[in-house]
Amino acid sequence: MTQTKILAEVVLPTNDLRDDLPFFTETLGLRLDTIFPADDPATASLSGHGLRVRLERGAKTPPGRLRILTDDVVKFADGQTHLIAPNGTQIDLVLLTPTVVQPQTQHEFAVRTLRDQAPWVIGRAGMHYRDLIPSRLGGSIIASHIRIPDGGPVPDMVHYHTVGFQLIYCYKGWVDVLYEDQGDIMRLNAGDCVIQPPEIRHRVCHASPDIEVLELGVPAEHITTIDHDMTLPNGVGDPNREWQGQRFVNHVRDKAVWEPFRIPGFSCRDTGINTGTKGVAGIQIAKHVGGEVPGTRHFADIHFSFVLSGTMTLTADKQQSCDLEAGDAFVIPPGLATRYSNCSEDLEILEATLRGDARSETLS
C-alpha cells in the first residue's frame, strides 16, 4: 500500500519573482522546487531549514514574518539578525538552541498562604498549578504547587527544559517518572525529590489520585521542548554524567541521614543537591527538634521555604509576624533578620537556597 505524502506551504505575496527569488534563494538559502508558468513566472515554491514557502503573485495575504533558527547567527546572512525581503516579509535570525538568561533577583519578603485561596490554573498535561511566588522575584525563580486531581496515566511526552536549576519534590501521594539514562520507571513517594538537570529528557507516566508536587524553576520563564526522537526508558547511562555541569540527583526520604540544620533547634536531611549542582542550589528538609530557636539571617541570592507540615510563626525585622501552617510558602531576602517561633512538634520545612553554599549566621 502506497503511503500518502503530504506537504504544507506558507503562502506569501510577491509583486515580482525576479526581485524575491534571489533574496529567498541566495540570502536565505532556500531551494527552488517549482516555478510556473514558464513564459511569465508568477508562482514559485521553495524549501529549506524545515520550511516550505510559496511565493504567489497577487496573493491576498500579508507579507508575514519568518523566524530562522541557526546555531551560528553570525555566519548566516552576513551576521544580520533582522531582514526584510523585497515583498515585505520580515525575517528574524535567532539562535537554534536557546540560552538561559538569569534575570537579576528583585528581592522581597513575601508570604503566600494556602488559606489565601489563590486560584489553581490548568497548565501543561492537564496539571493544576498554584503560584507560590507571585512576583517571581523579578523573573529569577518560579515556585509552583502542582496537583493532578484524578491521578492515573498522565498524557505527557518526552521533553526537556532549558533551565539553570529545576527541582521536583513529591509532597503527597506518588508519581512514576522516566529520566534519560536512569533506567526504568522511577517512583517518587511523598518526601522524595529529584533535580532535573538542564535539558535532561524525561516524562511523567502515572500518578496516584492524591498526588501533589512542588516544582522550583530558575529562571521563572524557561522553554520546554518536546523531543519527538527519543524514547524512554533508554537504559542506564554513566552515573557520573553531567548535563551542563549538573548530575541527576534522586533523594529518597527513607534513606536520608539527619544532621544539624543551619538554624539551632532544627535538624535536616540534606538532599545532596548542593553537591550534585556544584553549589548552584541547596535543598534541605528541616524539622523542629526542640530547644530555643534564635534569630538568623542568610546571604543567599534566593531563599524560598515551604511548610510541609505543622505550624510556626515567622517574624522578620520591620515586618508583620505571620502564623504559618502546612501549604504556606515564604521568601526571605538576603541579610534580613528572621526568627521561627511557636514551632509545633511536627513542623517540617523545605528550604531552597541559590546558591546552595551561601553563608548563614545565627543572631545573638
Across the beta sheet with 82-84, the strand order is 65-70, 90-95, 82-84
Q: What is the pLDDT of residue 128?
A: 86
Q: Which three cell numbers stand for residue 182?
A: 536512569
Q: Which residue has the higher pLDDT, 122 or 283?
A: 283
Q: What does the alpha-carbon distance between residue 66 and residue 92 come to, in Å, rounded to a whole number?
A: 6
| Coil, helix or strand at residue 142 | strand
DSSP class of residue 119 equals P
Closest by CA position to 315, among listed 334, 339, 292, 331: 339
Tens-digit pLDDT profile for residues 327-360: 999 999 999 999 999 999 999 999 999 999 999 9
In contact, 128 and 120? CB cutoff 8 Å: yes
In contact, 127 and 147? CB cutoff 8 Å: yes
In contact, 325 and 114? CB cutoff 8 Å: yes
Q: What is the dihedral of CA 169, 170, 172, 175, to 10 degrees?
A: 150
* Amino acid at position 251, single letter: H
Q: Which three cell numbers stand for residue 55?
A: 511565493
Residue 239, Cβ density class (10 Å: 0-12 exposed, 13-18 middle, ≥19 buried): exposed
Q: What does the alpha-carbon distance between residue 161 and residue 149 come to, in Å, rounded to a whole number?
A: 24
| Coil, helix or strand at residue 34 | strand
- Per-residue pLDDT for 12 more than 90? yes
Segment 107-116 shows an average pLDDT of 93
In contact, 249 and 171? CB cutoff 8 Å: no
| Coil, helix or strand at residue 276 | helix
- Per-residue pLDDT for 125 more than 90? no
Q: What does the alpha-carbon distance between residue 122 and residue 130 come to, in Å, rounded to a whole number?
A: 9
Q: What confidence category does residue 272 fall into, taking pLDDT thresholds of 50, 70 and 90?
A: very high
Q: What does the alpha-carbon distance between residue 209 and residue 97 come to, in Å, rounded to a whole number?
A: 37
Q: Which three cell numbers stand for residue 264?
A: 539551632
DSSP class of residue 126 equals G
- Per-residue pLDDT for 187 more than 90? yes
Tens-digit pLDDT profile for residues 41-97: 999 999 999 999 999 999 999 999 999 999 888 888 888 999 999 999 999 999 888
Q: Which long-range contacts (CB under 8 A, 24 or more apart) does 261-265 make?
A: 261/286, 262/296, 262/298, 262/360, 263/293, 263/294, 263/296, 263/340, 263/360, 263/362, 264/291, 264/292, 264/293, 264/294, 264/362, 265/289, 265/290, 265/291, 265/292, 265/293, 265/294, 265/340, 265/343
- Per-residue pLDDT for 293 more than 70? yes
User: pTM score, two decimals?
Assistant: 0.89
- Per-residue pLDDT for 127 more than 80? no
Q: What is the pLDDT of residue 123?
A: 73
Residue identified by cell 534566593 is: 302
Closest by CA position to 97, among listed 278, 244, 276, 281: 244
Closest by CA position to 163, among listed 123, 220, 122: 220
Full set of structural domains in the chain with CATH = 10-95 (3.10.180.10), 110-249 (2.60.120.10), 255-362 (2.60.120.10)
In contact, 170 and 188? CB cutoff 8 Å: yes
